[in-house]
């Protein structure tokens, strides 16, 4: 005990101990083979920097699992002593709460423990480090009486397992079953009953999809022991009828787009004066459906229309039609109407210039001939 106290003192400067208390919460009845956690609760009027104590457990029906002891504080020292177990908990960077859970210790009732037997768990030699000096005055001891409870049932068998619409030849010792030929779209209705009324049954039956599906039935005994029954449901992979998502026809009234059901992209150019077009389409499979999206009025430039075909299984195909509305023709400088006029005006300008040049040349020629005659 002195060595244990020296370990504690070596980690601390002397502290001043104030009035403090220690207690434990949690179940006091533990069935053979069962392990429970008991929180250690500390309370003090001052901040707590560290706690030291010795734990003892009477009798042979229970074991104190010191190695499983846990704490959220930085330093936890666990040590086997001649008269029990030593426990030191020290906080180096944060203070221990004035009132709260210091640590959790684990107690196990031996599988051979006799129901009704009792034992005493005692916390003693308790020292709180709360100040600048260590005072060896011990806090009050705390004791908790433990009782060996009744043996809990380990029965985790099912007494029945049924799947609506299918025969699975149930046997409680058989945990794996297979169902073939189910269809996708909905979950199978599964019912199951535990052999022991104290056991719990949990069923997970997911919505079926193509391929392998797994239904699980988990039986949890009163003791916590689990047994899982599985039902593998094989759903045949559905063959997609690709023709069901084809358009039979697609046309733009007044235009030829050369439609092919396997071609999903089309481009059409229209003049600037075309503001609306009439698009018509029909389905190859009447059980399918279609929707069309696109602008009500054509804008200058690209206008995208999409036609989506959806079959009864949800498979889709999207056809795209891009309609290019051409820009308005540029007005010419002559008539302010069209490019053609502007082109024609250029020709006349060229001819006028040529005529002026020819006239000027002829004039020069005539003048030169007149001058020659005078000489």
Residue 93 domain boundaries = 2-148
Reply yes or no on whether the pLDDT at 341 is more than 80. Answer: no
CATH of the domain at 57: 2.60.40.680
Residue 6: predicted pLDDT: 38
- The more confidently predicted of residues 358 and 25 is 25
Reply yes or no on whether the pLDDT at 11 is more than 50. Answer: no
CA atoms within 13 A on the CB side of 373: 6
Domain boundary among 184, 207, 235: 235
The model's pLDDT over 297-320, given as tens digits with 9 standing for 90+, comes to 999 999 999 999 999 888 999 999
Domain boundary among 170, 201, 235: 235
Residue 226 is assigned to a structural domain of this protein? yes
Q: Are 181 and 234 in contact (CB under 8 A)?
A: yes
Where does the pLDDT of residue 335 fall: very low under 50, low under 70, confident under 90, or very high at 90 and above? Answer: low
Same domain membership, residue 70 and residue 141: yes
Q: What is the DSSP code string of 252-263?
A: ETTB-----TT-
Residue 175: predicted pLDDT: 97
How far apart are the C-alpha atoms of 57 and 121, rounded to whole Å?
A: 5
Reply yes or no on whether the pLDDT at 93 is more than 70. Answer: no
Same domain membership, residue 142 and residue 6: yes
Where does the pLDDT of residue 8 fall: very low under 50, low under 70, confident under 90, or very high at 90 and above? Answer: very low
Instruction: Write the CB contacts of 113 (distance below 8 Å, at least 6 apart in sequence).
Output: 32, 61, 62, 148
Reply yes or no on whether the pLDDT at 4 is more than 50. Answer: no
The model's pLDDT over 12-59, given as tens digits with 9 standing for 90+, comes to 333 333 467 899 999 999 999 999 999 999 887 777 778 889 999 999
Whole-angstrom CA distances from 360 to 82, 346, 352, 354, 355 are 137, 21, 12, 10, 8
Residue 308: predicted pLDDT: 97
Instruction: Please classify residue 203 by burial: count the beta carbons closer than 10 Å to its beta carbon, then call 0-12 exposed, 13-18 middle and 19+ buried.
Output: middle
Same domain membership, residue 81 and residue 37: yes
Token couple for 74: 């930085």
How far apart are the C-alpha atoms of 38 and 56, rounded to whole Å?
A: 14
Model confidence pTM above 0.85: no
Instruction: Write the CB contacts of 84 (distance below 8 Å, at least 6 apart in sequence).
Output: 54, 55, 56, 57, 122
How far apart are the C-alpha atoms of 239 and 203, rounded to whole Å?
A: 31
Reply yes or no on whether the pLDDT at 192 is more than 90. Answer: yes
What is the chain's mean pLDDT, rounded? 85
Residue 241: predicted pLDDT: 73
Residue 169: predicted pLDDT: 94
CATH of the domain at 317: 2.60.40
Domain boundary among 113, 148, 183: 148
Same domain membership, residue 183 and residue 307: no
Residue 355: predicted pLDDT: 77
Token couple for 161: 């397992």
Residue count of the chain: 375
DSSP state, 114?
A: P
Same domain membership, residue 254 and residue 125: no
Tokens 């068998």, residue located:
157
Residue 346: predicted pLDDT: 64
């Amino acid at each position: 005990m002195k060595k244990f106290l020296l370990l504690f003192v070596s980690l601390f400067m002397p502290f001043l101990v104030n009035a403090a208390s220690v207690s434990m919460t949690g179940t006091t009845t533990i069935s053979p083979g069962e392990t429970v956690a008991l929180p250690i609760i500390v309370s003090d009027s001052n901040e707590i920097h560290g706690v030291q104590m010795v734990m003892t457990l009477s009798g042979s029906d229970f074991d104190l699992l010191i190695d499983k002891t846990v704490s959220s504080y930085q330093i936890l020292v666990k040590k086997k002593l001649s008269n029990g177990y030593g426990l030191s908990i020290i906080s180096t960077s944060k203070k221990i709460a004035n009132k709260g859970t210091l640590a959790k210790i684990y107690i196990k009732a031996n599988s051979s423990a006799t129901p009704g037997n009792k034992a005493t768990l005692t916390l003693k030699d308790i020292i709180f480090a709360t100040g600048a000096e260590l005072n060896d005055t011990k806090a009050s001891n705390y004791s908790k009486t433990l009782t060996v409870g009744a043996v809990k049932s380990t029965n985790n068998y099912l007494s029945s397992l049924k799947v609506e619409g299918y025969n699975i030849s149930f046997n409680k010792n058989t945990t794996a079953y297979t169902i073939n030929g189910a269809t996708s779209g909905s979950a199978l209705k599964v019912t199951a009953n535990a052999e022991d009324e104290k056991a719990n049954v949990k069923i997970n039956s997911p919505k079926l999809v193509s391929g392998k599906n797994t239904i699980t039935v988990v039986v949890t005994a009163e003791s916590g022991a689990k047994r899982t029954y599985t039902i593998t449901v094989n759903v045949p992979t559905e063959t997609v009828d690709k023709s069901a998502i084809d358009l039979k026809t697609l046309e733009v009234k007044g235009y030829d787009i050369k439609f092919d059901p396997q071609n999903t992209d089309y481009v059409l150019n229209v003049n600037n004066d075309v503001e609306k077009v009439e698009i018509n389409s029909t389905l190859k499979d009447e059980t399918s459906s279609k929707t069309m999206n696109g602008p009500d009025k054509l804008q200058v430039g690209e206008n995208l229309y999409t036609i989506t075909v959806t079959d009864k299984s949800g498979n889709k195909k999207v056809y795209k039609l891009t309609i290019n509305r051409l820009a308005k023709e540029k007005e010419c400088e002559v008539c302010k109407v069209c490019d053609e006029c502007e082109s024609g005006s250029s020709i006349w300008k060229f001819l006028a210039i040529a005529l002026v040049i020819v006239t000027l040349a002829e004039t020069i020629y005539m003048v030169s001939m007149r001058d020659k005659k005078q000489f």
